[in-house]
A and B are shown apart, each in its own frame.
Chain A
């Protein structure tokens, strides 16, 4: 029996109502990632035990999906919309401006982990194209900033790179001026929970 660390006990408690052969794996992974920010080796082990799966199977599922992470996320991510309406309005230039400002590749982050960039998919708010989402881990903020230009994206990325909080950046018109700052979408912590 491997050592029961505190981290494992926490994951176990989080998944207590989930069970094998019941289609609960996605819900389990969402819950753990929402709580801890990523899926650690311990989390994989406990999830596998709880759902009667091999750890290798759980690992295989995690790596299949774009949204699951094996490493802690950045403090704030800029999620860049890769969709057509955004791309038609210099979305590609906006991406390159963000990557250059943060000095990382897509789905990467600054060396100090303050700000990252993630590939996003169109969610049907194309009236705001081109757009990004600002996702802050600590506050579970997920707000859209639309009507971007490459210049506005650089200002946004610089502020986040330099440590500003999502709330501060979204409220600061010297950073977001001219862009359309949306409100946070619901933080669906319970999503995927089963009625088991």
Chain B
């Protein structure tokens, strides 16, 4: 019987040859980034246009696919790989640029072009390395979790294997490490849970491994429910085998034979890619399937992985809610203990980790603790992925060492959009933070500085908000979110968040009252008595807002004014220039017919106007959004 490493080598050798041929192709190749972000930006249309251009010219060029490299603000991204192995990323590539890209690939145009963003392999005269792009200034020279992103076809098992996938697992299975040694390696590296809590993964695996019973499960939390966080999506769409290998390692280390990957409903492409990757791994003998066939790589180890598609519920990201959701129940979190290691899915001992936590396990086994500790801080080891959005010049994702300054990240993102300044940092999702700009220098990207401010760094999403945004308006959004997503088990959470939302709604409608603050604080204290973190943390953003934006709150609640001019009950729309020819369009676009009168005498009927802003969109000169005159008018009582 061949050993696991021999069986692995039988997979690796042809994979390496296939990948080498892909990296240095005989004919130039054009890889259009195909991921959720690129498709949202029209990458399929770009790809079709490029395919047409290649066909029309009969050009000696092939087409392929990669995952976008991180610069989402430049999507659709297109990589051209030349026969010498040099790869240049271009973007944004519209369908109209298809000819240009084909010309670059064939050499009819120089690789250096205004659309060129940088090289990701080899060197091309006049094109800088992508590694030198300011967006990646905080990334280590060598990416870790993102190492394969943009450099492989994410749908190819061969490409993954050629880049090291499953090697650590094969070595482990070849008796290089016992399960206890694998768990210790995770403990020594200090891999913390990337779901936000930073709980040591090795310790959690120890809990499960030492729980009696045959039937153990490993569960991957891919619910990624925080709006503004999409780093788990990148791993699943860009390097699915890294996650699967991580689950395989965890299963071996904890004695698990079954596993679930619970993916949120909003990620259809991640679901497709993970399902395909699981099938490919099964076919290659890297996972078991259907209760029959051999163990993995010729050993006795069996692991069957199943993908579960969520159906739109934020609290299913909480581990006990997730477990209930997998097991045919309403996904309601429950009181802990018992913890999942004692009673998990189907009441069997289970381990829940985030996607990125599992993705770090193969990296730890491929290297060692000192390598892992090269980045990060004492308390938070290694790197982590972040997604940045909001009012910044460059929206995208990157992998940075824990502990780097958030101010540096804002700089990497090109700063706040021109003409505006940073007002607030929103991290950690709806249970997270609303921090004011002057705190930025205190914020290193690890948990401690955030917790010290009663805030949360969270699962990787960071939203930078400019001075055009109102924190009370945003607060209403998050209040509504936590209210909507309360599972309903605790009256404190269900009703408390309803009351909080009502107060926010009434305030932005112009009906703020003096006693609101007292009531908000009472709601806050009451919510602490909820059973799960959802209820306990749901007033955090409100608390942050009262503490770090006290004037803005007072202006709304007592002054009945919104200086950012976003809160519906505190603003009005008015015709400011009857001569603007665009007023006719404004009149036509108003969805409620609030603009009345003949040309030259147009006016807004304030009682009808819903403050949507369609009129100022089309007639910015002749129409204005302005502060409502003193006496507040309550638009709609909550």
Contacts and interface: CB of A to CB of B under 8 A. Distances in A.
Contacts of A164: none
Interface stretch (A3-11, A85-93, A108-116): A85-93
A4 B613 CA distance: 53
Interface in A52-98: 53, 57, 60-61, 64-68, 82-85, 87-88, 90, 92-94, 96-97
Contacts of A151: 589, 614-615, 617-618
Contact of B389 (A25, A26, A90, A127): A127
A149 B614 contact: yes
A91 B229 CA distance: 18
Interface stretch (B207-215, B324-332, B355-363, B522-530): B324-332
Given A154-B614, A185-B39, A61 B329 contact: yes
Interface residues of B, number: 82
Given A84-B389, A90-B613, A188-B268, A125 B328 contact: no
Contacts of A150: 612-614, 617
A46 interface: no
Contacts of A23: 260, 306, 308, 326-328, 345-346
A88 B268 contact: no
B69 interface: no
A122 interface: yes
Contacts of A168: none
A101 B73 CA distance: 31
Nearest to A21: B346
Contacts of B468: 88
Contact of B311 (A26, A57, A194): A26
Interface in B304-331: 304, 306-314, 325-331
B433 to A, nearest CB: 12
Given A67-B265, A88-B468, A191-B271, A182 B329 contact: no
Output the residue of B311, B329, B332 with the most chain A CB within 10 A.
Answer: B311
Nearest to A146: B40
A124 B36 contact: yes
Contacts of B306: 23, 194-195
Interface in B199-230: 225, 227-230
Output the residue of B225, B304, B481 with the most chain A CB within 10 A.
Answer: B481
Output the residue of B229, B230, B289 with the most chain A CB within 10 A.
Answer: B230
Contacts of A35: none
B228 A83 contact: yes
Given A150-B613, A154-B614, A186 B229 contact: no
Contacts of B284: none
A185 B480 CA distance: 28
B272 A186 contact: yes
Given A88-B391, A151-B618, A186-B269, A122 B228 contact: yes
A84 B612 contact: no
Interface string B65-94: 000000011010000000000000000000
Output the residue of B275, B346, B589 with the most chain A CB within 10 A.
Answer: B589
A87 B328 contact: no
Contacts of A61: 328-330
A85 B228 contact: yes
Output the residue of A23, A87, A124, A146 with the most chain B CB within 10 A.
Answer: A124
A101 B592 CA distance: 7
Contacts of B469: 88
Contacts, number: 221
B197 interface: no
Contacts of B185: none
Nearest to A23: B326
Contact of A192 (B307, B481, B484): B307
Interface in A180-196: 180-188, 190-192, 194-195
A167 interface: no
A153 B387 CA distance: 27
A161 B465 CA distance: 34
A192 B328 contact: no
A182 B42 contact: yes
B421 interface: no
B616 to A, nearest CB: 8
Interface in A140-196: 142, 144, 146, 149-155, 157, 180-188, 190-192, 194-195
A190 B44 contact: no
Nearest to A129: B389
B623 to A, nearest CB: 11
Interface in B379-411: 387, 389-391, 395-396
Nearest to B234: A124
A85 B37 contact: no
Interface in B416-442: 426
A192 B614 contact: no
B144 interface: no
Contact of A68 (B311, B346, B473): B311
Interface in B243-294: 260, 265-269, 271-272, 275, 289-290
A136 interface: no
Contacts of A180: 41-42
B389 A85 contact: yes
B138 interface: no
A24 B328 CA distance: 7
Interface of B: 36-37, 39-45, 72-73, 75, 225, 227-230, 233, 260, 265-269, 271-272, 275, 289-290, 304, 306-314, 325-332, 345-346, 387, 389-391, 395-396, 426, 463, 465-466, 468-469, 473-474, 477-478, 480-481, 484, 487, 566, 568, 589, 591-592, 610-615, 617-618
Given A21-B346, A120-B266, 4 more contacts: A61-B328, A84-B389, A84-B465, A151-B615
6 contacts: A124-B36, A124-B37, A142-B268, A186-B268, A186-B269, A192-B307
Nearest first, the 10 A-B pairs at minimum CB distance are A124-B230, A66-B312, A126-B389, A183-B44, A65-B311, A122-B227, A83-B227, A151-B617, A127-B395, A97-B612
